[in-house]
């Protein structure tokens, strides 16, 4: 028997009252992000994405993570639905662990937005000088791959250094207190260390690691809610265009959210990021394969990974 619209509405309200958790879950997009997740941080601060999705009856809950690997682990476990940008290396680690994730957007390369830093008065002048040194790096981050490539360029491997696997906040403290000889990190941490600690760049990603950042979703969520991913994708593109066209305004928003960084530091960091949001195509994942192969050779992945064996969302 067909129900009249009024009757349908009454039943919907009734079941929503009886099952508030289910109703809430169906109407909530859970986004995981990091402090360095510039575009989603801007969308969060400006309320732009909330406005877009509220018109569809969807609210957003925001969940901050210290780095990319725990963020994608949470995504794989179903604790969040969508991940803000993570460095190109991070999906490789989660893919090796059997995660079911879907790429839905990428930021085009920003190779100078990550770097190997040393103190201004450090005797280290070349990449070869890293031999025997203690180097802080965030495991599975883009900076991790940069370090592998930089060492290889100097004829070295991880066996020639003592890596200290630290999240950015701990890496900064270790660097500032001279507990490590070098620190490999990404912006805005690079710009902050340059301006506040007079850090010197030993090498950036130029010619070593292109540093693309990827946005992912849980594969089940991507299949069930392609219209939401389309909205998020479009909002990211708009935020990237706005950030590049309005660097000072973007910096004024981001500075307080990035540990009260001054506007000049944020602008310096953002100038090195492309913020050019584009679709992901499987046949354009060649560097993802090089990353996977490099980590496998170093014994950092438990098995070889086919970087093209992934799910990809194709935005309109």
Looking at residue 8, what is its pLDDT? 37
pLDDT digits (tens, 9 = 90+) for 201-236: 999 999 999 999 999 999 999 999 999 999 999 999
Q: What is the mean pLDDT of residues 184-188?
A: 95
pLDDT in tens, 18-69: 333 333 445 899 999 988 899 999 999 999 999 999 988 999 999 999 888 8
Q: Which of 287, 122, 305 is nearest to 208 (CA)?
A: 287
Q: DSSP letters of 256-310?
A: HHTTS--HHHHHHHHHT----EE---GGG-HHHHHHHHHHHHTT-SSS---TTSS
CATH superfamily of 7-109+213-312: Periplasmic binding protein-like II (3.40.190.10)
Distance (Å, rounded) from C-alpha 66 to C-alpha 44? Answer: 17
Could you give the CA distance from residue 116 to residue 143 in angstroms, rounded to a whole number?
8
The model's pLDDT over 256-306, given as tens digits with 9 standing for 90+, comes to 999 899 999 999 999 999 999 999 999 889 999 999 999 999 888 999 999
SS3 63: strand
CA distance 217 to 81: 6
Q: Which residues pair with 102 in a beta bridge?
A: 217, 311
Regarding beta strands 59-64 and 28-33, do their DSSP bridges make them parallel or antiparallel, or are they unpaired? parallel
Class of 111-204 per CATH?
alpha beta
> How high does pLDDT run on average in the chain?
90
Averaged over 136-146, what is the pLDDT? 94
Q: CA 228, CA 214: separation in Å to the nearest integer?
A: 17
State pTM to two decimals. Answer: 0.85
Q: Under a CB-based contact definition with an 8 Å cutoff, are residues 97 and 66 in contact?
A: no
For Cα atoms 164, 139, 191, give the angle at the middle one, nearest 5 degrees: 80
111-204 shares the fold of 7-109+213-312: yes
Neighbours of 41 (CB within 10 A): 22
Do residues 210 and 111 make contact, with C-beta atoms less than 8 angstroms apart?
yes
DSSP 8-state assignment for residue 98: T
Residues 6+ apart with CB under 8 A from 44: 33, 60, 62
Question: Taking Cα atoms as reference points, which of 168, 221, 276 lies closest to residue 58?
Answer: 221
Annotated domain spans of the chain: 7-109+213-312, 111-204
């Amino acid at each position: 028997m067909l129900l009249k619209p009024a009757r349908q509405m009454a039943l919907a309200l009734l079941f929503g009252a009886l099952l508030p958790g289910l109703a809430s879950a169906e109407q909530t997009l859970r986004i995981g992000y990091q402090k360095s997740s510039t575009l989603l941080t801007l969308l969060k601060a400006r309320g732009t994405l909330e406005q877009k999705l509220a018109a569809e009856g969807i609210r957003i809950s925001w969940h901050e993570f210290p780095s990319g690997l725990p963020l994608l682990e949470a995504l794989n476990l179903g604790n969040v639905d969508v991940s803000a940008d993570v460095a190109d290396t991070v999906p490789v680690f989660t893919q090796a662990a059997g995660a079911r994730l879907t790429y839905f957007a990428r930021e085009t390369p920003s190779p100078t937005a990550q770097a190997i830093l040393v103190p201004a008065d450090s005797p280290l002048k070349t990449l070869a000088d890293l031999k025997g040194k203690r180097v802080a790096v965030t495991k599975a981050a883009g900076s991790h791959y940069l370090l592998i490539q930089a060492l290889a360029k100097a004829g070295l491997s991880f066996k020639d250094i003592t890596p200290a696997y630290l999240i950015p906040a701990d890496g900064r403290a270790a660097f500032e207190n001279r507990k490590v000889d070098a620190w490999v990190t990404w912006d805005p941490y690079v710009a902050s260390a340059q301006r506040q600690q007079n850090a010197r760049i030993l090498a950036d990603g130029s010619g070593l690691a292109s540093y693309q950042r990827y946005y992912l979703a849980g594969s089940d969520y991507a299949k069930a809610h392609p219209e939401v991913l389309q909205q998020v994708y479009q909002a990211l593109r708009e935020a990237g265009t706005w950030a590049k066209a309005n660097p000072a305004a973007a910096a004024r928003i981001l500075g307080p959210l990035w540990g009260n960084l001054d506007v000049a530091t944020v602008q310096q960091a953002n100038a090195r990021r492309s913020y050019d949001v584009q679709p992901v195509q499987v046949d354009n994942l060649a560097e993802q394969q090089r990353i996977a192969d490099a980590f496998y050779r170093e014994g950092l992945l438990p098995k070889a990974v086919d970087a093209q064996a992934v799910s990809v969302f194709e935005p309109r």
